[in-house]
Amino acid sequence: MTRFVLSRLVSAIPTLFLVSLAVFTLIRLIPGDPVSLMLGDNVDDAAYAAMSHELGLDRPIAVQFLMWLQGAFQGDLGRSITTGEAVLPLVLQRFAITAQLVLVAVALATVLAVPLGMLAAWRQNSAFDLGVVVGATALMSIPTFWMGLMLLLLFGLNLGWLPVLGYVSPFDDFGAGALYLVMPVAALVLHECGILVRMSRASTLDVLRLDYVTHARAKGLTEGQVLRRHVFRNAFGPTWTLLGLILGNLLGGVAVVETVFTIPGLGRLIVESIYGRDYPVLQGCLLFVAFTYVVVNLIVDLCYPLFDPRVKTT
């Protein structure tokens, strides 16, 4: 077990290194010169050179990369060009908001969708199954931002049940914060439910047709025992992997949903930094998101043996 964990951890290191290199390269490829962006166009050569030196831009590109990496290790991702704020605290503060939204949504979607998919698979081709499949495909086809807009139109504007725009931290005022989160969370849950139901149904169907399930039934186990002990546990694997991908994707910024409901999350920060050409912020966000993505998938990998002991040996 320890070896499994260690080997997975070590195998993530080159990926993380390459991801940092990719982020660094991407930002360098963006047309435009950061120094003229910060100082404006009409600037004398001395000031320009001084700024270049301060930012380390007069050094070889490899040295720049290593300096940036060293800074990143020490938690220094530079400062925002527009506000002068330190990037890392800014990213973390915005990420906390996105994480609340996403974690609640993914947890809810899992609890709703996984059992539903499994039940539909168990009753394959019944009216219930058909309803679930059709519903899931329809939900999956509705983009979160449109779902958000429609919820807003119905419950916010027409019925007036829920606050329309903005964000209140649930840690400051739990009741109000929760109210503000209802619609964004619902938009995400409905869309992800569609995807998760289909996945959990498909992997359950895969398991149901295996010989050992027939065997379990043949030896006289009740249907409940067959499903609980033999089917559901084994069918959860692929869904678990998909959950990791979904979580990583959403944590990377649900920019569209945050835009619909004007929530100041990480996704908004990324979009704003692109609009404002605030490259240090964009670079910090990209690095942070890619790291989160890799780490979330690593955690998903590490959890695998918990419900599938066979993974340990491989």
Partner 1 sequence: MNLGRTNKYLGGLLIAFFLLSALLGWLWTPYDPLALDLRARLQAPGAAHWLGTDEYGRDVLSRLMAAARTSVTISALTVSFAVTFGIVLGALSGYARGWIDRAVMLLTDTLLAFPSILLALALLSILGANIWGVILALGLAYMPTVTRVVRGAVMSLREQEFIEASRLMGHPVGYTLRAHVIPNCLAPVIVIATSMFGSVLLTESALSFLGLGVPPPAPTWGNMLAGARPYMSQASWLGIFPGLCIALTLLGINLFGDYVRDRFDPRMKGL
- Three-state DSSP string of 62-118: HHHHHHHHHHHHCCCCCECCCCCCEHHHHHHHHHHHHHHHHHHHHHHHHHHHHHHHH
Could you say whether residue 152 binds partner 1 (CB under 8 A)?
yes
As measured in angstroms, the least distance from the Cβ of 85 to partner 1 is 20
Residue by residue, DSSP assigns 237-286 as: HHHHHHHHHHHHHHHT--HHHHHHTT---HHHHHHHHHHTT-HHHHHHHH
At residue 298's C-alpha, the angle toward residues 295 and 303, to 5°, is 130
Which residues between 156 and 175 bind partner 1 (CB under 8 A)?
Answer: 157
Residues 94 and 264: beta-carbon distance below 8 Å: yes
User: What length is written for the chain?
Assistant: 314
Q: For partner 1, which stretch binds (CB under 8 A), given 78-86, 87-95, 104-112, 287-295?
A: 287-295
Could you say whether residue 97 binds partner 1 (CB under 8 A)?
no
Number of residues engaging partner 1 in binding (CB under 8 A):
48
Q: Which of 68, 201, 230, 281 binds partner 1 (CB under 8 A)?
A: 201
Q: For partner 1, which stretch binds (CB under 8 A), given 78-86, 98-106, 122-130, 222-230?
A: 122-130
Residues 69 and 20: beta-carbon distance below 8 Å: yes
Backbone phi, then psi, for 79, in 5-degree steps? -125, 150
Q: Which of 29, 46, 62, 159 binds partner 1 (CB under 8 A)?
A: 29
Q: For partner 1, which stretch binds (CB under 8 A), given 85-93, 152-160, 173-181, 217-225?
A: 152-160
Could you say whether residue 36 binds partner 1 (CB under 8 A)?
no
Residues 188 and 101: beta-carbon distance below 8 Å: yes
- Written as one letter, the residue type at 264 is P
Q: For partner 1, which stretch binds (CB under 8 A), given 43-51, 71-79, 87-95, 248-256?
A: 248-256
State how far the Cα of 62 lies from the Cα of 66, in Å rounded to an integer.
Answer: 6
Could you say whether residue 6 binds partner 1 (CB under 8 A)?
no
Binding site for partner 1 (CB under 8 A): 15, 18-19, 21-22, 26, 29-31, 124-125, 130, 133, 137-138, 140-143, 145-146, 149-150, 152-153, 157, 201-202, 205-206, 248-249, 252-253, 255-256, 259-260, 270-271, 274-275, 282, 286, 289-290, 293-294
